[in-house]
Structure 1
Amino acid sequence: MDDKLFERVVEVAHTAEAAGFDSLWTMDHVHQIASVGDREEPILEAYTTLAALAAVTSSLRLGVLVTCNGFRNPALLAKMVTTIDIISRGRAVLGIGAGWHEEECRAYGMEFSSTRERLARLDEAVRICRAMFTEHAPRITGRHHSVDEPLNMPAPLHPDGPPILIGGGGERVLIPLVARLGDACNFFGGPATVRHKIDVLERACAEVGRDSEEISKTWLGTAIIADSEAELQEAVERLGMLLGVAPDAARGLALCGTADEVRRQIGEYREAGVDGMIVTVLDPGDLDHLGRVGTTLREAMDD
C-alpha cells in the first residue's frame, strides 16, 4: 500500500502553483489508462482528490479534465463542483465530456451506452449543471436526466457559477454543443488540427448568434523540456510507447525540445487561436522538470 501517495500529489500541486501554472486538473478515471501507465497502477478518484487539493492550494483554478458524464448524476455533480468552489473560494471549473473508457465502466457496473446516447446525455447534463449554478430551484425535464427544484445551497461564489469546459473535438455534435452551452473547449493535435477545430467552432457560434471570443480555447498535450537530443529522444520514445504511436508522431502531439523550442511551439498554437495550454508531464514526481515546464509556459503565454 502506498501511504504517501496523496502527500506526493500535494507536492506536485504546490510545485505547479509556485512555478506559475494557473490551473490544476485531475482526470476522471477509476482505472489507470494506457496513455499514462499500467492498468493496475494506483489512481485516486478525481473529485475527492480535487476537493482535498482545494483546501491546500491558494491560486490554482481546479477542474477535472474531463468529467465522465456517465459516472455521476448531473445535479449531484453540480453540487460537488459547487462545494469545491466554496472550499477553494471561487476557483472551481466544471470540465465535462461524454466519456469513452468502456472497460472501466463495465468493471464498475456502470452503463456504457451508444455514442449518440452519451452525447445526448451530455447535452442534458450541461443544461442541468448550468441551471444548478445559476437558478434557485430549477425544473428541467429531459429524455435522460431531469431535476425537480433541487436546491444548491450555498450557491457558487460567482453569479454565473463555475465556467463549464466541454471536452472533445467531434465536429457534428460536440463542437456545436460548445458553441451553444460551453465557456471553454479542449482540443488535441498539432497547430493545423487545432486551427481547423477552432474554425469549426467559429462557424458553429455564428450559426447560433454567439461571439466565439466568449469561449476559451485550450489545448491538451504532453510537455517535455530536454537539454540534449539524446534526452529528448528517450522521452519521446517513452511517450510514443504510451500513446501507441511512432516517436515522430509523438513529437507532433507534444510540446518538446529545449525551453526555447517549446516557447516557439507554444507561439504556433497561440497563432492558431489557442488561449490556454493544459499539459501533462511524463513523470509528475520530477518536480524540477515540472517547475521548468511551468516557468516556460508562463513566459511563453505572457509574451
Structure 2
Amino acid sequence: MRFGTFIPQGWRHDLVGIAPTDQWRVMRELAQRADEGAWESLWVYDHFHTVPVPSEQATHEAWTLMSAFAAVTDRIRLGQMCTCMGYRSPAYLAKVAATVDIVSGGRVEMGIGGGWYEHEWRAYGYGFPPIPERLRMLREGVEIFHQAWTTGTATLDGTHYQVDGAIVRPLPLQEGGIPIWVAGAGEKVTLKIAAQYATYTNFAGSLEEFGRKRDILRDHCTMLGRDPGEITLSSNFNTIVGATEAEARDRLDAVVARLTPYIGEERAKVVEHDYLSSDAFGTPEQIVERLRARAGAGLGYAIHYFPEHAYDRSGIELFEHEVIPALR
C-alpha cells in the first residue's frame, strides 16, 4: 500500500490559534518533514471557506500552496483532493499545473472533481449548477487537460468550455502528462470518466460499497477497452492513532474540544462520530487490520488526514513507525 498525508491549510479549522504570520511556517515545516519521511505524497484541499461552517478562520488556496510546496521540497509528490473543475478555467488550470510540475521537477498530481460546497460556489460568484451540469464540466475539463499535457495545445468546442488552440508549453515534465485522479463515486458518469482518463480514483464508503464501486469501475474499463489494472484505487481517511484505545480517545476529545468553539456542539458531535467510525481511528494494530482488509478489496493508496498535525506530531509519528511499515 502507498501512503499520502494531508498538510493542514485551515479548511477544517486545523490552523486555529496559530497566528496568520506563522501559518506558512507551520505548513512549510510539516511539508518538509513529510518530504524527508515515509510519505509518498502530500495533499491539500481545494476550498476557499472553512468546513463544516464558513468562518473567518484561514483557508489557504490549494494551487498557491502547490507552487510553494514545490519550491521547498525535493522528493514528495504534490496533490490536491480535489481540485474543483468549476473554480478555474480548465485551460488556465492546465497551464498552472504544468508550470508547477516544472517547478517541482515532475512531482504534481492532479486531483479533480465536480465540486460540492455550495456556499463557496455562490460566494465566489460561480453559481451552483446542478450535478449533471457539474459532471459535464468535469468531463470537458479533463479532456482539455489530456490534450494540453500530451500535445501542448487544446481545442474543444464544448457546452461549458470553449478553447481554440490554447498553448500549454512547456509540457509537464512527466511523460504522458500529469497523473489524473478522478475523485467521486458517481456510477454512471464519474467512474466512467475515471475509466477513460484517470491514473487514480478516489472514493470511500463502507468496505462493501467500496468493492461495489470498484466492480463498476472495472465494468466501465472493459466497455472502453482499458485494463482496469492501470488505475490505482485510493481513499482518504480521517486518522487518529494512539498507542492504546484510551489514548486514541483522549486525542479525539482534544480535537473535538478545539473545534467546538468554531463549529458548535452539534456539528462537533458529527465530527466526533466521523472519527469514531473511521477505519483509521484506534491503535496501530486496529488500523493495520482494517486497512489490510481494504487492500484485499483493491485499495492501493491511502491518504491520511491527521486533525492534530499542526499542534502535535506524536500521532503521525506513531503511524509512520507502526502502521506504514506493516502495510507497505
Same-fold status (TM-score > 0.5):
yes
> Which structure 2 residue ranges, 5 or more long, are not aligned?
1-18, 257-265
Q: Which residue pairs with 2:62 in the alignment? A: 46
Aligned 8 A contact 1:267 1:300 in 2? no
Equivalent-residue separation in structure 2 for 1:32 and 1:245 (angstroms)? 14
Equivalent-residue separation in structure 2 for 1:182 and 1:9 (angstroms)? 29
Q: Residues 192-271 of structure 1 correspond to what in structure 2 (within 5 A)?
A: 192-236=208-252, 242=268, 244=270, 247=273, 250-271=275-296
Cα 1:209–1:138 change in 2 (3 A) is: same
Structure 2 residue 43 is matched with structure 1 residue 25: yes
Q: Which residue pairs with 2:305 in the alignment? A: 280
Aligned CA-pair RMSD: 2.0
Structure 2 residue 170 is matched with structure 1 residue 154: yes
Equivalent-residue separation in structure 2 for 1:130 and 1:183 (angstroms)? 12
- CA apart distance, 1:159: 2.9
Equivalent-residue separation in structure 2 for 1:297 and 1:212 (angstroms)? 28
Question: What is the percent sequence identity of the aligned residues?
Answer: 32
Equivalent-residue separation in structure 2 for 1:28 and 1:10 (angstroms)? 18
> Which structure 1 residue ranges, 5 or more long, are not aligned?
none
SS in structure 2 opposite 1:43? coil
SS in structure 1 opposite 2:69? helix
Which of 132, 135, 141 pairs up with 1:116?
A: 132
Aligned 8 A contact 2:241 2:282 in 1? yes
Aligned 8 A contact 1:223 1:293 in 2? no
Q: Which residue pairs with 1:86 in the alignment? A: 102
- CA apart distance, 1:214: 0.5
SS in structure 1 opposite 2:21? coil
Structure 2 residue 190 is matched with structure 1 residue 164: no
Residue by residue, what CA displacement relative to the aligned partner does 1:55-99 show, whole Å, maximum 9, x if unpaired? 111111101110011110000001111111101100001110000
Q: What's the TM-score once normalised by structure 2's chain length?
A: 0.86
Q: Which residue pairs with 1:300 in the alignment? A: 326
SS in structure 1 opposite 2:176? coil
SS in structure 1 opposite 2:238? strand
Structure 2 residue 36 is matched with structure 1 residue 10: no
Aligned length: 299
Q: Which residue pairs with 1:130 in the alignment? A: 146
Q: What's the TM-score once normalised by structure 1's chain length?
A: 0.92
Equivalent-residue separation in structure 2 for 1:196 and 1:235 (angstroms)? 33
